[in-house]
Structures are given as C-alpha cells and as structure tokens.
A and B are shown apart, each in its own frame.
Chain A
Amino acid sequence: MSTPVLTFWAPIVCLVALLIVLVVAYGYRSRGQGKYKENTDQTQIFLSGENAPDESQRHIRSHNMYWGFFEAMKRYYDPAVRAHTGIVNDYLIWLLALAAATAIAIFLADLV
C-alpha cells in the first residue's frame, strides 16, 4: 500500500509563486518613505542617541558576546588560560604528564 503524496514538485508553479512574491515585495517597498536626507544623521545607525562609531569600530567580536559565559566560568577558564602559554615545550610536558598519569591509572585499575 503506497503512502499518499502530500506534496508535489512543479518548477513552473514555484517560479510563478516567486514572481508573485517579488511583485508584492516590490509594491510594499515602493510604498515606503523614500525622502530621507542623504549624508545626514537620517542615514546613520540609531544607538539611543549616541554617536555611531566608525565602521571599523562597530565589529562585535564573539568574545564580547560570550562575556557572561566567560564570567560565570571564570574559575575554570582563568587556570586554563594561564596553562596555555603558547610554548610547545609546555604542551609536551602536559602531554607526557597526562600520559604517565593515565598509564598509572590503567596499571592500578589492572591490579584491582
């Protein structure tokens, strides 16, 4: 028993629908206020009355967006950031230390 087909694919119908949407969108847009004054504050970003900074200064980095997350996890992140010195030798020591600890843990587990 075949399942009933609830959808269909007809490219012409999709194109016509797209055309109708575009015409409606264009009509809606053309009813908007187009008499704004160029090169004045009317074209500037609204920041509660504050002066909008230059475009290069507007970028909000992901670190800013996660401020609350980092603040809440500060007790974890502060030691972790300190441990990441950027020196390869330090990372190799961490690797060797963790490998040794794992080996000892496996050895002890085997004894039990």
Chain B
Amino acid sequence: MGMNSFKRALWVYHLNTGSCNGCDIEIVAALTPRYDLERFGIKLVGSPRHADVLLVTGPVTRQMEPRVRRIYAQTPDPKVVMVIGNCGAEGDVFHESYNLVGPIDQIIPVDVYVLGCPPRPEAVIDGVVKAWLKLEGAVKVKAA
C-alpha cells in the first residue's frame, strides 16, 4: 500500500440500494477501532455533495434506480464509484428477481468492485485504497 498516495482525506458517501445490510455492517466494521479507517482520513459523510467516493451496496431495486442516478449526478467530480458485495456486482441470489434493475454498473459507471457476501473489512479497505489510487490518477490527468 503506497502511503504516498494518501495526500488528502477521502470522504465517502455510502448508498444502500436494497442491500440485506450484510455489506453495510462490514463497512461499519472497517471504521471500528480494530481496522480504524479514519486514521487515514477516510470517513463516511452524510451527503454526496461532500464525497469523493460513492460506496454502493445492494442489487438496485426498481424504486432506487432514479435515486441512484440522481445521487451519482450530485456527487462532484472527480469521483470514484465502489461496489461492495456480490449483489451490486452481479445480483447474487437475487439476480432473477422481478424487482431489480441492477447490477449497479447497468445504472452508473463503476470503478472498483469488492466481491464477497459480504466482503471482509480487509477487502473493503483494499478496495478503498484502489479507489484512492484511481482518484489520484484522475486528479493528475485532470490537472495535466
């Protein structure tokens, strides 16, 4: 993990699109003292307007589709979208449900996939670091 990439605090907005809460619990676990993501300046924020990363869980229910699009549009650029869990990546056990319009990459562009049902906090942290590196790259490209 290249610590040189930790140049600024990374603010994350967590969006649940119909998750069973398993992934959401693991995200919260990544913020507990055992893993303590906040020591790197990574923290959850209450509005996408403040976020660098959109953390999406769940397989996207029909009701959530316009909300997902709107929240993605409201997140300022440059931004990175992370999908946490199998549901958001490919629907998992719900993939044949009549009420789903996902997976998430059919609604909004996704940059990082963290697979698992649910993924462990270490995997979530690894995904955030990948998102960070991608974001730093995007910033450099934009600045050039």
Contacts and interface: CB of A to CB of B under 8 A. Distances in A.
Nearest to A36: B76
Contact of B68 (A36, A42, A49, A51): A49
Nearest to B64: A49
Q: How large is the interface on B (under 10, 10 to 19, 20 to 34, 35 or more residues)?
A: 10 to 19
A91 B75 CA distance: 57
Nearest to B13: A46
Interface residues of A, number: 13
Grouping DSSP codes into helix (H, G, I), strand (E, B) and loop, the B interface class, with mixed when no group exceeds half, is: helix
Interface of A: 33, 35-37, 40-42, 44, 46, 48-51
Contacts of B62: none
Interface of B: 15, 47-49, 64, 66-68, 70-71, 73-77
Given A46-B47, A46-B48, A46-B49, A51 B74 contact: no
A33 B78 CA distance: 10
